[in-house]
Amino acid sequence: MSNQFIYSVIVSLNKSVPQSTFDYACHKIQKLEAGQIVKVPFGKKSAWGVIEKLQEDRKDIQIKQIIKVFDGYILSGYLMRFINWVAEWNFTSKGSVLKLVFSNIDIIEKENKPIGWIINTNPDIPKLKKLFPNFKLTKKRKQIINTLSQTKPILTKELIDQTGASKRTISELEKLNIINSMEVSSDISLPEFKVLRNSNIVLNSSQRNAVEKINRIKNNNKFDAVLLDGLTGSGKTEVYFEIIAETLKQGKQALVLLPEIYLSSEWSMRFKNSFGITPLVWHSNLSKKVRRETWDQIIRGKVNVIVGARSALFLPYRTLGLIVIDEEHDHSFKQEEGVLYNARDMGIIRAKIENIPVILSTATPSLETWQNIQTKKFTHIELPERIGDAELPRVKLIDMKGVNLPYNKWISPTLKDEISKNLVNRNLTLLFLNRRGYAPLKLCSSCGYRLGCKNCQSWLVEHKKNNLLICHQCGIQQKLPEICDECSEKETFISCGPGVERLEEEILDYFPDISIEILSSDTIQSSKIMNGFLKRIRNGKIDLIIGTQIISKGHNFKNLTLVGVIDADMSLSGGDLRASEKAFQVLHQVSGRAGRENKKGLVVIQTYDPKNQVIEALSKNNRDEFLKIESKHRKEINLPPFGKLAAIIISSKNQRELEAFSINLKKKSPNFQNVMILGPAPAPMYYLRGKYRYRFLIKSSKEVNIQKVIKDWVYKIKIPYTIKLKVDIDPYSFL
């Protein structure tokens, strides 16, 4: 019998555990490659895995055997390095990251790829009879052994035709490890990809200069991070389309990351208009069949453009030549469930590992990217003007302290007049309010009792159109009660504060005959719905849009000339270190929707704090001054990007056990230079989805390896199975 090879296998796991790499044996005569996809026994079930490395070559060791090797699919060395890097940096297991890569792994078995057979070694018949007393070298078995070679596999059908043996006989020899199966490559030749750019697209001088600079960088065939920094409406997308075209001509794949799934619909439409082909799309709402086909094309190296949300970063690219991160500032790139990671940062790392350029495109750079520009780590390319004759919109501030609005009204007379003028001129209006539903709170007018979620420490949001109260944390829904649980009074619940539905109600009071569309995550739940909305916009069927922050991202509405911001102060403060930065980015992006064509745009901002630095920067269109002030503030208190932060969140259904564990965790916290450990403290959202939560915040200087600090601390403590502990490197949410 042959020697067995021992392999270290990363096992794809649902849960993040410290260890996800295990040793398995394989009797295949050929050594398996790193990146080879395998199926292995794990506990009482089987699991998918990938070969990390060859451990040793030993005969006499009792170890579980690899169940199956999938020869047709091998993860690249680049992707293997990326898996390791993401796991190490984000304080998670390799198996959890591999789970992201294997999001559609059933493609391997679903495809029914041709199976071939080889002989493992010349069998020692006397030894076989000794090991297996019932073994008989039948005529059919002998024919199979004599027919097979050790190198060139023979397909199952051909082997049966040549020997007259049955599938059962073949299976019996496989169980005895006399023969082995392997997938036979079908050698599919991929069609030649022809790049056809729309000849009607004419770039201005700034765009042409940007394309030339980025192409020079790209032709160096090495990593570089490029900030494509352009005003809203300056044509950033057309610039990186040119770079994508060059990438495709070189026979390489291009990846474009978007912050939200629904944006892929409009982006794909623009891409098809420009290139004449449809890109590959990747996100969680696709059917299993489409995901299987896409995954297969990508790992086979089919030249194409892949556009998708965060998870597209973990696809098994074979010939990746370019990564574009559109709206790089957007906080939706931060994954808040499962493996916690920032897709923008991980996208930069993947580009560095693959040794290819990455383009960060935005009108409002994140402070992290801005600091990398100041220190010359990134290349800075600017688009300083809008396309054609379009100008930046004029900004008008309304100080709401001096406005006497009627009860339950939210639109100032000034904004109402501007809306009226815009409707007369048959132009499109956008009202921005970052609150879903009808009202953020329902309370009893008799006793003041507030309707809260039974699973979370949050209020239920009224959604009047569906006649429901919904928790925006856990998603629980219920009907509005007729009787107050606190005082037993009937029909005393009143709505407090405005949501987008309530704003629609007010607008229809003023303008009853107009067509209104609400854009929020409640109304745009699929690409099909989004396409319908965009079609109605293009056909002039909508007079006014009311939207939450999803309206601020990537849209280009040609006839939109008025933007009204209803509650500009809502997100200016709070416990979030990025509160001001987020507020500026969203409001700047929303404002930038106005006046994209030859028509002049107007932005009306309703605020109770016109002297706030964010509001002042918006009114003066002075983005760089805001970034300078915000950078100075962060640097003074050593917060990212000048220092490091990490959060430890522990949760449990058992409140007392959680409190005791948090105290014990604090007692055993390490004492490192330039490291401050804050907590434990109850999380601001202390009760969430049926669990109590405590938080630690670890703050350090830039030079500290914060992951090692946490590892030396957390891994030395036994965590009860009733308690969940997760680590968030560079947290964006502090709830």
DSSP string, 519-542: ESTTT--SHHHHHHHHHHHHTT--
**Residue 328 reports pLDDT greater than 50:** yes
Query: What angle, rounded to 10 degrees, do the helices at 263-275 and 527-538 form?
Result: 60
Contacts of 514 (CB under 8 A, 6+ apart): 423, 507, 508, 543, 544
**Residue 622 falls in which region: left (phi positive, over 0), alpha (psi -120 to 50) or beta:** beta
57, pLDDT greater than 80: no
Residue 180 near residue 174, CB atoms below 8 Å: yes
What is the predicted pLDDT for the residue at 184?
64
Percent of the chain whose predicted confidence (pLDDT) is above 90? 49
Compute φ and ψ for 143, nearest 5 degrees.
-60, -40
The dihedral over CA atoms of 404, 406, 408, 412, expressed in degrees to the nearest 10, equals -50
Cα angle 102, 107, 112; round to 5:
145
User: Which residues pair with residue 547 across a beta bridge?
Assistant: 432, 519
Superfamily of domain 4-183: PriA, 3(prime) DNA-binding domain (3.40.1440.60)
- Assign residue 233 a region (left: φ > 0; alpha: ψ between -120 and 50; beta: otherwise): left
Nearest to 694 by CA among 645, 735, 646: 735
Task: Count CB neighbours of 707 within 10 A.
Answer: 16
pLDDT exceeds cutoff 60 at 111: no
Rounded distance between C-alpha atoms, residue 179 and residue 156, angstroms: 12
Put the strands of the sheet holding 320-326 in their side by side order: 280-282, 305-308, 253-257, 320-326, 357-362, 224-230, 379-383
**Separation between Cα atoms, residue 26 and residue 41, nearest integer Å:** 12
Q: Where are any strands of DSSP class E within 27-135? A: 36-42, 45-58, 68-74, 115-119
- Whether 225 shows a pLDDT value over 90: the answer reads yes
For the residues 497-520, what does the mean pLDDT come to? 93
CATH 3.40.50.300 fits 394-435+498-633, yes or no: yes
The pLDDT, as a whole number, for residue 189 is: 43
Burial class (CB in 10 A: 0-12, 13-18, 19+), 300: middle
User: Quick check: 553 pLDDT over 80?
Assistant: no
Residue-wise pLDDT for 456-508, tens only, equals 888 899 998 888 999 888 888 999 898 998 999 998 999 888 999 999 999 99
Q: How far apart are the C-alpha atoms of 338 and 92, rounded to whole Å?
A: 10
- Give, rounded to a whole angstrom, the gap between the first and last alpha carbons of the chain: 60
Give residue 187's pLDDT: 46
Residue 287 clears pLDDT 70, i.e. is over it: yes
Which residues are CB-contacts of 162 (< 8 A; sequence separation ≥ 6)?
143, 147, 154
Structure tokens at 386: 């809008």
d(CA 489, CA 445): 9
pLDDT tier at 571, thresholds 50, 70, 90? confident
**Lowest mean pLDDT segment, chosen from 150-154, 630-634, 647-651:** 150-154
Rounded Cα gap, residues 190 and 177, in angstroms? 36
Task: State the Rg of the chain over Cα.
Answer: 30
Whether 321 shows a pLDDT value over 90: the answer reads yes
> Which residues are bridge partners to 651 per DSSP?
693, 724
Q: What is the pLDDT of residue 361?
A: 97
Structure confidence at residue 101 (pLDDT): 92
- Long-range pairs, 454-460, Cβ under 8 A, ≥24: 455/687, 455/688, 455/689, 455/690, 456/685, 456/687, 456/688, 456/689, 457/685, 457/686, 457/687, 457/688, 458/685, 458/688
Indicate whether 274 pLDDT > 80: yes
Q: Is 384 exposed, middle or buried (0-12, 13-18, 19+ CB in 10 A)?
A: exposed
Q: How confident is the model at residue 191 (pLDDT cuts 50, 70, 90)?
A: very low
Candidate ranges 190-199, 450-459, 463-472, 626-635; pick with highest mean pLDDT: 626-635
pLDDT value at residue 414: 96
Provide the total of helices (H) and of strands (E) in the chain, helices listed first. Answer: 21, 32
| One-character DSSP codes across 45-62 | EEEEEEEEEEEEEESS--
Q: Quick one: pLDDT at residue 198?
A: 66
Confidence of residue 1 (pLDDT cuts 50, 70, 90): very low
Whole-number mean pLDDT of the chain?
87
Q: What is the pLDDT of residue 370?
A: 97
709-to-60, 136, 606, 716 alpha-carbon distances in Å? 40, 61, 46, 12
Name residue 398's amino acid: I
- Give the whole-angstrom CA distance, residue 150 versus residue 180: 10
Cis peptide before 406 (omega within 30 of 0): no
Dihedral sign for Cα 159, 172, 6, 316, please.
Answer: positive
Contact 218, 246 (CB under 8 A): yes
Nearest one of 383, 360, 354 to 372, comparing CA atoms? 360
Q: In which band, very low, low, confident or very high, does the pLDDT at 314 lie, cut at 50, 70 and 90?
A: very high
CA angle, residues 360, 366, 372, in degrees to nearest 5: 70
Q: What are the CA-CA distances from residue 668 to residues 650, 654, 708, 716, 717 (Å)?
A: 15, 21, 15, 9, 8
Residue 652: the pLDDT is: 96
Domains 4-183 and 643-729 share a fold: no
Least confident interval from 72-81, 185-194, 505-514: 185-194
677 pLDDT higher than 90 = yes
Other Cβ atoms less than 10 A from the Cβ of 664: the count is: 12
Residues in the chain: 735
| 392/711 Cα distance (integer angstroms) | 50
Amino acid found at 465: K
Specify the 3-state DSSP secondary structure of 72. Answer: strand
Q: Are 452 and 458 in contact (CB under 8 A)?
A: yes
CA distances (Å), origin 351, targets 39, 281, 324, 704? 29, 20, 10, 24
Sequence spans of domains, the chain? 4-183, 205-383, 394-435+498-633, 442-494, 643-729
Q: Which amino acid belongs to residue 89?
A: W
Superfamily (CATH) of domain 643-729: Ribosomal protein S10 (3.30.70.600)
- Which CATH number applies to 205-383: 3.40.50.300, 3.20.10.10, 3.40.50.1000, 3.30.200.190? 3.40.50.300
User: In 264-418, where do the E strands start and end?
Assistant: 280-282, 305-308, 320-326, 334-335, 341-342, 357-362, 379-383, 394-399
CA 708 and chain centroid, separation? 26
pLDDT at 188: 42
Strands (E), 365-484: 379-383, 394-399, 428-432, 441-444, 461-463, 468-470, 477-478
**Range 441-455 average pLDDT:** 90
